[in-house]
Structure formats: C-alpha cells, structure tokens
Amino acid sequence: MPTDLMLIKLFWVVAGLSLILGLLRIVHLLRSCRMRSFAARRGFRYIGPPAPSQWWWNPSRLEIHPPLTRSALCGFQARQVWNVVEGNVQGVTVFIFDSIWGSKGGQPLTLIACKTEKNPFVVVTSADKVIQSRGWTALQGVSFLGFTWTMSTKRIDAHLDNIML
C-alpha cells in the first residue's frame, strides 16, 4: 500500500531528525556542565544562560544580560550568547562565553574577552584571532576549514594561564 510506505518513510525522517536534535541537546548540556565546572575550578562565576534550545538557534535579536555588555563583544556580530563565565585574571575583568555567529545556520564560537586595550594574549596560534574594540580585547576560537568551533576548557585554561598584562 502506497500510504503505508509513505508513513514508514515519514516515521524514519521524523525519527532521524529527533535523534539529531537530541544528540545536539546532549552536546550542549555536556558543554554547559564543563563550563560550570571550569568556572568553579578557576574561582570564576558561571552566569549562564545555558545552551540555547535547538528551536531558537537563529534569534531575531541578540539578548545580552548584565554583567556582560555589548562592548565586551568587541564589535563581533553574535546572534546568540550562552555559557557566560565571569572572572578576574591579574586584576582584569574577563568574560568567557560561547556564541553563534554567521548569517545562515550559524557557527558556534568561543570568545575570551578581557577589559583591557592592551593585547594580553601572548601565546596564540595563527588560527586564533584577536579583536580589539571599545577598551576590550577578545580572543576568538580557532577556525578550521572555514568553520569555527567552541574552545575546549583545557584550551581556555591555557590561554588564561598565559595572559600577560
């Protein structure tokens, strides 16, 4: 029966999409747990919000909640910000957060923003990008093959340990 075959195909499409969205949610939850653990280990404060829901991946406008400010984004055109961690390194305010940027679909990215005009990131690779604007300096995570990724907490630790002011 053609309708039975169509229902079976529809079932597999829905099941596949549900699996993909479920796996994405699990990845976001694990990342949130790692960022909370990182903040606690460093004596920083996890502000949140937690990872975005898959359904709100492309918000109509960016929402930033205090104490994070738009100036800490260093002009970076983020569409979504989450897993915000606030701390202090050598007397300088630091924000670490995951974000989405890009016009279609978006790409995940981690930024480490320091409230200083001087570039404190002395150890960076050619894949890293330092952005400076409005009294803030931010380190953008690695790009690979035109895609950006979230920075591991181990790598964030290394960058914070190498900050020179």
**Ramachandran area for residue 90 (φ above 0: left; ψ -120 to 50: alpha; else beta):** left
Look at residue 109 and tell me whether its pLDDT is greater than 80. yes
Look at residue 77 and tell me whether its pLDDT is greater than 90. no
Look at residue 19 and tell me whether its pLDDT is greater than 70. yes
For all residues of the chain together, what is the average pLDDT? 81
How many structural domains is the chain composed of?
Answer: 1
What is the per-residue pLDDT for 59? 57
Q: Which domain holds residue 33?
A: 2-161
pTM above 0.85, yes or no: no
25-66 per-position pLDDT tens digit: 788 888 889 999 999 999 999 998 877 654 455 555 677 777
165 closest CA partner among 112, 117, 120, 116: 120
- Percent of the chain exceeding pLDDT 70 equals 81
The torsion of the CA quartet 114, 120, 125, 130, rounded to 10 degrees, works out to: 50
